[in-house]
Amino acid sequence: MNPCEHSSERLNHPVRHSPRRWRACPALLPLLFLLLTRLLSFGQTYEAVSREISVFNFGTPFPSVEAISREVSVFNFGASFPSVEAVSREVSVFNFGAVFPSVEAISREVSVFNYRVPPLGFSVGSTNILGTEINQVPFTFLTLLDLTNLSLTLQADDSHLQILGVTPVSPEVVSVALGTVSSNGHPIAFTLNSGAIPATTHVLAWLNFQGITNLDSAIVPLIITHSTATRASGQVVPVATANGQVILIMTNSILVASAKPQFGITLYGLPGATYAIETTTNLALPDWQELERLFQGGPILPITGLTNTAAQQFYRTKQVGP
Amino acid sequence: MKIQIKAALILAACMAAFTSSLFAQLAIPSDGSDGALVISTDTVIDLSQAVTGNWTNNNTANVGKGIYDPNQWAVVFKYSSITIAPNATVTFLNHPTHAPVVWLVSSDATINGTISLDGQSWNAVTPNLNEPGPGGFRGGFKSQSGFGVGGGFGPGGYYGDSGSYSTYHSYGNEQIIPLIGGSGGGGWASCSGNYNGGAGGGAILIAASGTITFNGYCHANGGNGVFDGGWAFCHYQVDSFNGSGGAIKMIANQILGNGSIEAVGGSADAGSYPGRIRLEANTTSSALTLNPSTPAVLPNPLVIWPAATAPTVQVVSVSGTAAPADPKASMFGNGDDILIAQTNAVVIQLQTANFPTSGTVSVFIKPLTGAQSILPASFVSGNSGAAIWQVTTVLPLNHTVIQALAVSN
C-alpha cells in the first residue's frame, strides 16, 4: 500500500475532495515551507537549489514482486495406499442361473409297454344251477399294473338270473360297489390297493346270483362290457376280458359240446333222471337214432366215447326216466 | 521387543483364521428331523421306505426313513449328525424311482466305515436287469429266446458298449448338479451264454454344516460285465459290458481325514468309464484318496439343488398318453409308465424349460431287448422359457425306455 495515498485519503475523508496539488505527500511539506519562507523574506531572486531528493515511486506492490515458496514434495497417492497395487480376494462364481455351464438337461426315464394283448386280464367264471339255487362264479384277475380302480358292466339275463351281489376275496380289494341295473347291465366298480395286488392269477371277488324259475332251462351268458382300469398314475388302461355263463336247468336238459382236449358232450339235467342220447346227420331229414341211455346221478353228466363218422353230426337228449 | 509383538500378532491372526475355519458352519438346510444316523454294524437303508413329499418337510413322523421328493428326484435324509463306525458298511435298497441319496447334516459327520452305492454286477441268478446304485441306471438285458440283447440304460448307456458318465459319452457336469449317477453297460450274448450288463454306480450328496471327518471308504462304482475268453468258440469274447462309475459329492466347512472315495467303472475286460467326485469345503484334507482324482473347491456359492431356472427336459406323452410326472420306468413288477397298443408310428412329445430353442434335444429309445436308437426331436412351439418338441417313430413291441437329453449348441 502506498502510505502517501493512504494519508491523503485519511485527510480528505470527511471533507470535500481537494485538488490534486494539495494532496502532496506530507513528507515534502517541510521543504516546501522552507522554500516559501525564503522567497517571502527577501523578495529577491535567489537561487536555491534544493538538495536532490530521489523519489522512487514504487507503486502498490513491493519492489520485488517475485515470491518463491519453499519446495514441498507432494505424492498423490489418492484413496489408496502408497503402493498403488491392490489385489482382491479370489471369488469363485458359479453361474447356475438360467442355463447351466454345460447347458444340458436330462429327462427322467419313462418306460413304455407297447402291447398286443393288454397286460390286464379279467374274467367271469361259469357254473350251472338247478331251479332257484343260489350260486356264485369267480371274477378272476391277473395284472402286474399298479391299478387303483377297475370298473365294468356285467350283462346277464335278468329273466333267468337275479344278481345278488359281489363279495370281495383278494386283499387288494378296498371296496366294491354293485350299481343299479340298467339296459346296459349291472355296473360293478372295484377300488383297489395298488400295492397289494398279487402278481399271479387269482380270484378277485365272487359274483352271487340266484336262478329264476318262471322260464325254462337256459344257458345264461355273463358278458363283461365297458371295462376299464385306472393306474395309480391316473392312466386309464384297457382290460382283456373273458365272459362266462350259467347253465340254468329247470325241466329240460341241455347238451353242451366241447372240442378240447377231444370231442365230448356234457349233459346238464335233473339229478335222478334217465336220459336218452340220440344222434342224426341231417337236421332237414331227421333220422334220430338213440345211442345210449344214461342215468343222471348229479347235475352234470359227461358223455364220452362218441365217434363221429359223418361230415356233421347232431346230438340231442330227452328225458326217458323219472 | 518389537519382534516379539510382531510374532504375537501373527500368531493371533493365524489362530483366528484357524478357529474361524474350525468353528465356521455352512448353511446346510437340515432340520435334523431324521435324527442322528449312528451305524455300528452293516446296515441296509431301504430307500423305498421314504415318505413322498417336499424335502423341506419336517420328518419326525417318519424319522430315519427320509423324504422322497419327486420334484428333486432324490431321497433326502436330514440328519442331526452321522457316525459310521469302522468295519460297518452302509448299503441301500433302491427307491422305486431309482432316485439318488442326499444326506443333509446339521452338525458333523464322522465316517470311518464304508458307504457303498455300487451298481450290481452280473451274476447267474439275476432274473431281470442289474440294479444300479441309487441315482444310477440299470444294465442292459440279456438275450432271451426270440429277442436280442438290450443296451445299457441312462444317458451314457449304449447298445453293445460299456456305460459312461464323465468321459466318452459324457453327460452331467463337474458340479454334479443335478445329482445323477452312472449309466449301465449293455447286455450281451455269446456261445457261452446270455448276460446282463453291469449297472451304473449310484449318486450321493453328503452335506454337513460342520466337519466331515472321513477315514472310511465311499464307493459308487459301476457293476461288472462278464468277460469270458476261455471258451473254445468264444475266444476273447466280451459277454456283457461294465456299468460306469456314479457320483459322490461332499460339502462341509471342513473335510478331514484320509479315507478313500471312488467312482470308477466296472472291472470286466471291456470299456470302463469313471464317474464324478466333487469335494466342496473351506478346508479339505490332502490325505484323501480320490478316484477319479478331482481338485477340491470352496463351497462358494453353496448350492444343494438346481436353481429354479435351471434347464429341464421331460417326456410329456407317448402316442397321446400322458407320461406320469414321477415316472418309475419299471419294466417289471408294477409295470411300465405308459401302455400303448400301436404298430404305427407314434408321437413322442417332450417339453423343455429354460433351454434355448436353438439347442438339440435327443431322444434315446431303448428297448428292453434289441438295439437302441437316438432320434433328434423337432422344435414344435414355445420359447426358451418353455417349449414343446417331438419325435415321430415306430416303437417296438414290448418294453421300451425313453429318455431325453437336451444340449445347447
pLDDT surpassing 90 at residue B57: yes
Mutate to test the interface with B, among A89, A92, A106 (most CBs of B within 10 A): A106
- Domains of chain B in sequence order: 25-306 (no CATH), 312-407 (2.60.40)
pLDDT surpassing 80 at residue B278: yes
In this structure, of A49-58, A161-170, B70-79, B164-173, the range with the lowest mean pLDDT score is A49-58
Contact state of A106 with B172 under an 8 Å Cβ cutoff: yes
Grid look-up 471312488 returns B262
Instruction: Tell me the pLDDT tens digit for each residue of B359-399.
Output: 999 999 999 988 999 999 999 999 999 999 999 999 998 89
Instruction: Specify the pLDDT at position B231.
Output: 52
Contact state of B397 with A194 under an 8 Å Cβ cutoff: no
Contact state of A99 with B153 under an 8 Å Cβ cutoff: no
Q: Which residues of A touch B400 (CB under 8 A)?
A: 111-114
Phi, then psi, of B48 in degrees rounded to 5: -70, -10
Contact state of B73 with A108 under an 8 Å Cβ cutoff: yes
* B363: closest CA of chain A, how far (Å): 9
Contact state of A110 with B354 under an 8 Å Cβ cutoff: no
What is the CATH topology of the domain spanning A120-249? Immunoglobulin-like (2.60.40)
Local confidence band at B145 (pLDDT 50, 70, 90 cut-offs) = low
The number of angstroms, rounded, from the C-alpha of B381 to the middle of its chain's C-alpha atoms is: 32
Q: Which residues of A touch B391 (CB under 8 A)?
A: none
ipTM here: 0.90
Instruction: Specify the pLDDT at position B240.
Output: 83
SS (H, E, C) chain B: CHHHHHHHHHHHHHHHHHHHHHHCCCCCCCCCCCCEEEECCCEEEEHHHCEECCCCCCCHHHCCCCEEECCCCEEEEEECEEEECCCCEEEEECCCCCCCEEEEECCCEEECCEEECCCCCCCCCCCCCCCCCCCCCCCCCCCECCECCECCCCCCCCCCCCCCCCCCCCCCCCCCCCCCCCCCCCCEEECCEEECCCCCCCEEEEEECCEEEECCEEECCCCCCCEECCCCCCCCEECCCCCCCCEEEEEEEEEECCCEEECCCCCCCCCCCCCEEEEEEEEECCCCEEECCCCCECCCCCCCCCCCCCCEEEEEEECCEECCCCCCCCCCCCCCCEEECCCCEEEEEEEEECCCCCCEEEEEEEECCECCEEEECEEEEECCCEEEEEEEEECCCEEEEEEEEEECC
Shortest CA distance to A193 belongs to which of A229, A149, A151, A227?
A: A149
Instruction: Specify the pLDDT at position B229.
Output: 60
Q: Which residues of B touch A113 (CB under 8 A)?
A: 331, 335-336, 338-340, 398-400
Spans of chain A below 70 pLDDT: 1-69, 72-87, 91-102
Grid look-up 339235467 returns A269
Instruction: Specify the pLDDT at position B147.
Output: 66
The answer to whether the CB of A208 falls within 8 A of the CB of A165 is yes
Instruction: Specify the pLDDT at position A94.
Output: 52
Local confidence band at B67 (pLDDT 50, 70, 90 cut-offs) = very high
Instruction: Search chain A and give the residue with CA nearest B316.
Output: A110
Of B332, B354, B400, the CB nearest to A112: B400
Instruction: Specify the pLDDT at position B164.
Output: 97
Contact state of A105 with B356 under an 8 Å Cβ cutoff: no
C-alpha–C-alpha distance, residues A212 and A257, integer Å = 25
Local confidence band at B227 (pLDDT 50, 70, 90 cut-offs) = confident
Average pLDDT of the residues of chain B = 90
Q: Is residue B123 less than 8 Å (CB to CB) from chain A? A: no
Q: Which residues of A touch B350 (CB under 8 A)?
A: 107
Pairing state between β B74-79 and B67-69? antiparallel
Question: When comparing pLDDT for B196 and B99, which is higher?
Answer: B99
Q: Which residues of B touch A92 (CB under 8 A)?
A: 297-298, 300
Instruction: Specify the pLDDT at position B11.
Output: 46
Cell numbers at A86, concatenated: 491392490
Partners of A136 in beta bridges: A208
Pairing state between β B211-214 and B247-256? parallel
Contact state of B407 with A94 under an 8 Å Cβ cutoff: no
Of B321, B329, B407, the CB nearest to A104: B407
The answer to whether the CB of B398 falls within 8 A of the CB of A113 is yes
Q: Which residues of A touch B332 (CB under 8 A)?
A: 144
Grid look-up 482382491 returns A88
Question: When comparing pLDDT for A238 and B69, which is higher?
Answer: B69
Instruction: Specify the pLDDT at position B124.
Output: 67
CA distances A306 to A278, A282, A298, Å, are 11, 17, 21
pLDDT surpassing 60 at residue B60: yes
Of A96, A118, A119, the CB nearest to B177: A96
SS (H, E, C) A198-242: CCCCEEEEEEEEEECCCCCCEEEEEEEEEEEEEECCCCEEECEEE
pLDDT surpassing 70 at residue B39: yes
The pLDDT of B88-94, averaged and rounded, is: 98
Q: Is residue B340 less than 8 Å (CB to CB) from chain A? A: yes
Q: Which residues of B touch A105 (CB under 8 A)?
A: 310-313, 352, 355, 405-406
The pLDDT of B13-24, averaged and rounded, is: 51
Contact state of A115 with B338 under an 8 Å Cβ cutoff: no
Instruction: Search chain A and give the residue with CA nearest B318.
Output: A112
Shortest CA distance to A270 belongs to which of A322, A218, A210?
A: A322
Mutate to test the interface with B, among A93, A95, A107, A237 (most CBs of B within 10 A): A107
Q: Which residues of A touch B306 (CB under 8 A)?
A: 96, 100
The answer to whether the CB of B246 falls within 8 A of the CB of B136 is yes
Instruction: Specify the pLDDT at position A54.
Output: 62
Task: Tell me, yes or no, if the pTM score tops 0.90.
Answer: no
Q: Is residue A146 less than 8 Å (CB to CB) from chain B? A: yes
CA distances A190 to A164, A166, A194, A203, A216, Å, are 16, 10, 12, 13, 34
The answer to whether the CB of B202 falls within 8 A of the CB of B117 is yes
Contact state of B180 with A108 under an 8 Å Cβ cutoff: no
Mutate to test the interface with A, among B52, B303, B305, B338 (most CBs of A within 10 A): B338
Contact state of A112 with B340 under an 8 Å Cβ cutoff: yes
C-alpha–C-alpha distance, residues B102 and B181, integer Å = 12
Q: Which residues of B touch A114 (CB under 8 A)?
A: 340-342, 395-398, 400
Contact state of B395 with A112 under an 8 Å Cβ cutoff: yes
